[in-house]
Structure 1
Amino acid sequence: MNQRVRLSLLVVQIFVLTLMVALLGRLFYLQVAAAPKYKDAALSIQSRDVINPAIRGLIVDSSGVPLALNRVGLAITVDRIALDKQSDKGAIVLASVSNLLGLAYADVYRATRLCGELPKNDKAGCWTGSRYQPIPITKEADPEIALQIVERTNQFPGIGATPVAIRNYPSYAGVNAAHELGYIGPVTEADLSGINGRTYYRSETIGKTGLEYQYDSFLRGTPGIRTVIVDRKESITRESQNTAPIGGNHLVTSLDVRLQASVESALSDAVGRARASGYPGDSGAAIVMDVRNGQILAMASYPTYDPNAWEKGLSVKDARALFSEKNNVPALSRPLQGLFAPASTFKSVSVVAAANAGYNLNAIYNCPSETQIGNRAFQNFDSKALGRISLKKGIAVSCDTLWYQIAYDEWVRDGGLRPKSDPNDYFFKAAEGFQVNKKTGIDMPSELSGRLANRQWRNAWYAENKDFYCNYKDRAAKNQLTPFLIELARENCLDGDKIRAGDAVNFSIGQGDTVITPLKLTQMYAAIANGGKILRPSVAKAVVSTDGRVIKKISAKQLGTLPATQTTLNFLQDALREAVTAGTATGAFAGFPVAISGKTGTAQVFGRNANGTLKADTSWFASYGPTQNPRYAVVMMVSQGGFGASVSGVGVRKIYETLFGVTGSKVDPAKAIFPDGKPPIKIPKISPSTKVKESK
C-alpha cells in the first residue's frame, strides 16, 4: 500500500471518529445537560378543554304546549384555580360561602372536587367537568345573597355568580308525566367511558330516563369547546380555540296536556276508590293510544314523583324513597315495567285460540259453577253457575268454567303430560300471535317484555329452578315450609318441566305464570279495534329544529297481524261490545252516550304483603271506542285494587268522558278533546310561551 492510499484511509478514520464524538456529545447534551429545559418546554405546552353545554331543546305536547323547558337560575360558582392558589386551598372561603347559602360544607366541598380527587366510595356529587371553568355549587341562589358575594370579592376570592339554564317541567294543567318525560343529570364516569354507545363531554347534563334519555342526542345540542394552553403551574397561557354551543332541537310528542291531566286524575281516583273499598291499591297505570297509528295520547303511572326534584337536588333519603317498596317504588313506570297477570282481559286471546282450533263460536257452551280437572275443582268467578250460554255471552259475563273445559280438552288432545312431538298448542300460538312475549317497541327506555308461559318457557324455568325445588326443605325460608308449598315443591321437582292440566286451564283465563305490561295489553286491544294490525306505540311525533324545520318524523310502524280471520275478529268485537251493554262492565258504563267496547279483568295474586296480609286482586279494564269507528284504546290497571269493573272500569269511563266531552249522559262536542274525533297530525309551531288551550 502506497503512501497516498494510507493518507486517504487516515482521513476517513479521523472523519468517522469526529462524527461519532459529535453525535455522542449531542446525545449527552439532549439527555443530560439540556433535559430540564426540554422538560419545562414539554410541560408548558399542555391543552385543556373547557366544555360549555348547549341549551337543551324543549319537549312539547301535540299542540305545542311545553312539557319540558328551560328557565333561568342564578348559580354561585367556584374558581378552583383561584382557590387552589390560596394557602389553605380555599377552605375558609368555601366554609364562609356554605354558611351564607345555608349549605353543608361537606356537600359544597364534594361538589367542587373533580371526581378523580375523591375516594372511590365517595364520588357522589363530584364535579365531572374541568377545573378551568366555573363550578356551580347551587343554581338557585337568592339574588340578594349573590349580590353580597359579588360585591365582597376580597372576602370571597374565586367565588362568582352567573345566570344558568335550569331544566324545568312546568306542569301546565296540572300534568305530572314524570315517567314519560324522565329527568336529566350530570354525566358519570360510566357515561364518559362510552359503555352505552353514546359520546359525551365532561360537565354536560344528559337525559337519564324517559324521553329525555331516548331523544337525548337531539335535545342535548352541541356543546361549545374552549381549548386553553396551560403551563406546568396549571396557569392559562393562551387560548387555542373557542367554539360557541349550538342549542338542541325540540321534541314534539303525541301527548295532550288536557288528556294527560285527566288520565292522571282518573288513575289517582281509581286508586282512591280501591282503598275506600278496603283494598291496598298500591299502584296503577292508565294509557290512551290512537288505534290508527299507535301514538300514545296519554300515559300515567301511580305512584309518581316530582320531575323537578332532580334539579332541586335529592337527598339520600329522597333518593331511597323513590325506590322504596314501602312507598310502592314511585320511580317504577307501571305502564312499561309493571308485569301483571292479565286475568279475563286475556280471554280475547282465548277466543282466537278456540276459533283456530275449530270450535264453533256461535255454539252454546255449558258454564257450571266449577269444572273438575284431574283431582282439583276449578271454580267459576264467585262460584256462580250460569247454565248453557253462547260463547259471546260467556265473554260478556266473563265465564271461566267454559274456558277450563275447552283448554283442558285441547291439552288432552296435545298429549297431556306426555305431549306429542308436534302439539297443536292453539292457546300458546294465539298468544304468540298477539306478541305477548315481546316488547311493544315503544320509543322509551327500560320497557320490559311480557312472560308467555309456554312449553319453551317452562323448560327454561325448570332448568333454572329444579335444584331449589328438589331441595326445598333445606333451601326455603322457615315461613315458606307450609304443607301446600312443600307439596308444590315436590310436584315441581318431579315434573316441573311439563305443562300440567292446571297450567293449561289457568292460561286460558289469563292466570298462572303469564304476565304482561299494561302497555302490551293496550297494544293488543288497539289491534282488535283496528282490524288486526299490531302497531308499534310511540310517544314522540317529530324532532323539530329551532328554526321550525322537521328533522325527524316518527311514523307509524306495523309489527305484525293478529292470527285471526275477519270472521273471528267480528265475533270478538261484538262480544266485547256486549260486555259493556249486558256484561260485567254494564254498571260502569250505564247511561254512557258513546258506544264503548271492552273487557273487565280481576286477577288473583299469590303471596303476601309486607304486613303479612294476603295480596288482593289486580283490577283491569281494557277497551276501545267508539265501537263503530274506533279511535282510541284505553286501558287501566290498579294493582291490589279489587274488581275490574268498579275500580278500573269506572276510571276508564272518566277518561272517555274527557275524550268525548261527556257530562252525565250527554255529549257536548265543544268539550271534546279532539272535536272531530281525530288527534292532530300536523306538527305545531313551538314556542316556550305557548299557553294551554282551554276546552270551549
Structure 2
Amino acid sequence: MLLIGRLIQIQLVDTDSFSNHEVNLVEASINQRTQSFILSDGRGTLVDRNGEPMRGSIPSLILFPFLNEREWPIHKVSEIINVTPDELRRALQGKKQPFKFGKTITKNEMVKINDLRIPGVYAVYQPESSDRLASHLIGSVRTNPDLVKSKYPEKWNEGLVDQHTRLGISGLQLAFDPFLISEGESKLLYHADRKGNPLLGLDVKMFTNSDSFYPLQVKTTVDTDLQGVVESSLDQTNITDGGAVLIDIKNSNVLSMASRPTFDENNPLGDGATNKMVKGYFPGSVFKTVILAAAYEAGIPNNRTFDCNQNVYRDGPEKRELGVLDLKQSFAASCNATFAILAEELIKKDQDVIEKTAEKLGISSTVGWNDKLYHYDHFEQFPDESDPVFFKSEKDKGIRKAIDQTAIGQLNVKVSPLSLANMMATIARGGDSKQVRVVSDILYQNNTTFLSFQEKKNNSKPLPSDVVDELQGALREVVASGTGKSFLGNLPVEVAGKSGTAEPGGNADYDYQWFVGYFPYNEPRYALAVVDFERREKEYKAYQAFAKIVDALY
C-alpha cells in the first residue's frame, strides 16, 4: 500500500512539482528520452541604436551524436569548413548530447552546410562569448527560482517561466527584465532510442514558443562603434579603475558607457561587477562648475580678483601659488581659495544655493530617465544609479571649513560620472536640462514599436542665457590657458571642460583624476566624462583617454 501510494504521488499527484526541489517529473521523463541543443533561451535581446545586437552572434556548426551510428557525407562538410574528416570524427567521439563544433565558420559556409540538408548537421547563429562590449551597462543574468516565482507569480502558475528561467540582476538586464524575460526557449530536439539514435527514424525538429512579436527587443541609444572607441581608449591608456561616459548633447542620449575594472560574467556579483559610471564619487574641482554658475547668477563679475597664493582655508600658503587671479582665471587654473570664498558668500545669502544651482544644471537628483511606464508607477532606466550628495547634514552649511571643502568637491560631495557628463551637456546646449536616456524604444520581434521613451526635460527653471554663455567661456578658458591646456592645438576640434583631482581619503597613495567636457566647442555635439580612480603622481591617464576618444571620433 505504501508503494502504491508513492506511485500515485509520483505519477498522478505531484507530476508538475515533485519534492522540495519542485521537479517537473513529466519534463524530466521527456528529457531522459530526448536529446536537444538550445538555440536560444527565449530571452529578449538588446540592440544598439542601429538595430544591431549588442552581444554579437556568429555562425556555428552543431553536430548531433547519432552521426556516429550512421553514414553521412562527412567529406562534403569537412571540405566546406576546411577541416579533415578525422577532426570531425574525433569531435563526435564520446559525445552524448548535441554540441557546437570548435571551429568558427563563415556565413557562406553556413549556407552551404544547410543546403546539404543532413540530419544531425546544422549551421546556426550562436552568441559570441568573447564579445564583452558595454558589459556593465548591459548587466548580467542568472537563475534564481525563488525570485522568479515571487517576481512573476502569474507567469509561474501558467508555466511560462520555471526554475531554469534567467533573471536580470544588474544594468539594463535588470531594468528591462519584465520585457526581456523568456517565455519559452528555442531548441533543436529529437527523441532517442537506447543507443541515442533518432526514434523510429524521426528527424531533428525545431521547437519554439516564439512568434513574430516575441521575444521583445530593447533598442538602446548606444552606438557600438563608439562603444568600441571608448573602451579601447581606456585600455590603451591603462585605466584599470575608472571609466568614461559619452553623451549626445542634442538629446542627452548615452552613446557609450564603459566602467573598469571588468568582471567575470560567470560571477556577476563578484569583484568589478559594479558599474562605477552611475555611482557617486568625489568630483574634486569639477564641482567648481556649480559654484561658478551660482556666482555668475548672483552677479559676481569676471574682473573680481582673488589671492590664489592662499590655501583653501586662507590660513596658510597653497601648494600651487598662483598669484592674484580674476574669476575666470581662477576657474581655469582651479584655484581652491577663490571657490571657498565664493561658496561662503553665496551660502550666507541663501543656504540652499548649491542645491538650487545643481538642479538648474540637471544634477540635483538622479539623471537617468524615469517616469510612469506601462503599469509601472516609477520606471528607471538606470536602477543602479546613486543619488547625488552635496552636504551630509544642514549643520555643515554653518561650518566654514565644511563649506570650503564642499566648494572644491570634497568632504561629503558625491556625484556620478553620468551626472557630470549630463551637466556638461546641459551647459553646451544652452542650459536646457534633460534626463538621460539609454533606451529609446521597446520593439516587437518584427521591429514594430511596442513602447517608446520620449525625451524628458527637467522641470527646473534653467539658468539665464547670459550665465550659460559665461560658463561656456570659462570652460573653454580651462583649455585655452588653464589645467586643460595640454589639449590646446593637439586635437582635431576645440574642446571645453573642467579638470578635477579628488582625494579619496584614508591613507590612499592615489587620487581621483577627472576631465569632463564637451566638443566641438562652437558646435557642441558630444559631452564626455573620463575618470581614473587610481591616479598616481605625475600620471595623466584621464586626460590621455579623453584626448584619444576625441581624436578617434574626428
- TM-score computed with the length of structure 1 as normaliser: 0.57
Does residue 65 in structure 1 map to residue 52 in structure 2? yes
1:178 aligns with 135
Deviation at 1:208, TM superposition (A): 2.5
Choose from 231, 246, 262 the match for 1:264. 231
Computing the radius of gyration from Cα coordinates, the structure with the larger value is 1
CA distance in 1, matches of 2:176, 2:241: 28
Separation of aligned partners in 1, 2:154 and 2:553: 41
- Answering whether residue 385 of structure 2 is matched by residue 447 of structure 1, we say yes
- Paired residues of 1:580 and 1:598 also in contact (CA < 8 A): yes
2:305 match: 365
Q: Is the Cα contact below 8 Å between 1:600 and 1:644 reproduced in 2?
A: no
Structure 2 residue 455 is the aligned partner of structure 1 residue 570: no
User: Residue 222 of structure 1: which of 157, 173, 183 is its match?
Assistant: 183
Letter in 2 for 1:336: V
> Which residue identity lines up with residue 206 of structure 1 in the other structure?
L
Whole-Å separation in 2 of the counterparts to 1:293 and 1:607: 39
Q: Which residue of 1 aligns with 2:127?
A: 168
Residues 286/195 of structure 1: CA separation in 2 closer, same or farther (3 Å cut): same
Compute the displacement of 1:548 (Å).
Answer: 2.3
Q: Which residue of 2 aligns with 1:344?
A: 285
Which one of the candidate residues 327, 331, 336 is aligned to 1:391?
A: 327
Question: In 2 relative to 1, CA 187–165 (structure 1 residues): closer, same or farther, beyond 3 Å?
Answer: farther
Q: In 2, are the aligned partners of 1:430 and 1:563 still within 8 Å (CA)? A: no
Any conservation in 2 of the 1:54–1:220 contact (CA below 8 Å)?
Answer: no
Residue pairs, 1:316-331, within 5 angstroms: 323=270, 329-331=271-273
Larger mean Cα displacement after TM superposition, 439-448 or 571-580? 439-448
| C-alpha contact (below 8 Å) 1:296/1:537 kept by paired residues | yes
Structure 1 counterpart of 2:242: 284
Q: Which of 332, 353, 361 lines up with 1:434 in the alignment? A: 361
C-alpha separation in 2, matches of 1:532 and 1:197? 46
Deviations 1:459-488 (A, max 9, x none): 5xxxxxxxxxxxxxxxxxxxxxxxxxxxxx
Kindly indicate whether the alpha-carbon contact (under 8 Å) linking 1:601 and 1:644 is maintained by their aligned counterparts in 2.
Answer: no
State the alpha-carbon separation in 1 of the partners of residues 540 and 97 from structure 2.
60
CA contact (8 A) 2:243 2:260 kept: yes
Report the TM-score, using the length of structure 2 for normalisation: 0.71
Q: 2:150 is matched with which residue?
A: 193
2:424 is aligned to 525
2: CA distance between counterparts of 1:627 and 1:257? Answer: 25
The answer to whether structure 1 residue 305 and structure 2 residue 263 are counterparts is yes
- CA apart distance, 1:349: 0.5
Deviation at 1:288, TM superposition (A): 0.4
Q: Do structure 1's residue 210 and structure 2's residue 179 form an aligned pair?
A: no
Q: Cα offset for 1:248?
A: 0.9
- Provide the aligned length of Structure 1 versus Structure 2: 448
How far the C-alpha of 1:498 sits from its partner, in A, is: 6.2
Task: List gaps (5 residues or longer) in structure 1.
Answer: 1-35, 78-141, 151-160, 226-241, 273-281, 324-328, 415-422, 460-495, 609-613, 661-696
The 3 A distance-change label for structure 1 pair 146 and 293 is farther
In structure 1, what is the Cα distance between the partners aligned to 2:124 and 2:174?
A: 18
- Hey, what's the Cα distance between the residues in 2 that align with 1:620 and 1:196? 46
Q: Where does residue 335 of structure 1 map in the other structure?
A: 277
Cα distance in 2, alignment partners of residues 179 and 43 from structure 1: 46
Q: CA-to-partner distance for each residue in 1:230-284, whole Å, 9 max, x for gaps?
A: xxxxxxxxxxxx9944541222222222211111122223345xxxxxxxxx610
Counting aligned pairs with the same residue, the percent is 25
- Distance in 2 (CA, whole Å) between partners of 1:656 and 1:66 is 25
Between the aligned partners of 1:196 and 1:399, the Cα distance in structure 2 is 58
> Which amino acid letter does the alignment assign opposite residue 127 of structure 2?
N
The CA distance in 2 between the partners of 1:439 and 1:497, in whole Å, is: 22
Structure 2 residue identity aligned to 1:399: C
Q: Which structure 2 residue ranges, 5 or more long, are not aligned?
A: 17-23, 28-37, 66-89, 99-119, 187-206, 370-380
- Against the structure 1 CA distance between its residues 73 and 498, is the aligned structure 2 distance closer, same or farther, given a 3 Å change threshold? farther
Matched, 1:505 2:404: yes
CA contact (8 A) 2:497 2:515 kept: yes
Contact kept, 8 Å, 2:390 with 2:406, in 1: the verdict is no
SS of the residue 2:447 aligns to: coil
Instruction: Give the secondary-structure state (helix, strand or coil) at the position aligned to 1:383.
Output: coil
Task: Find the aligned partners of 1:616 and 1:505 in 2 and give their Cα distance.
Answer: 22
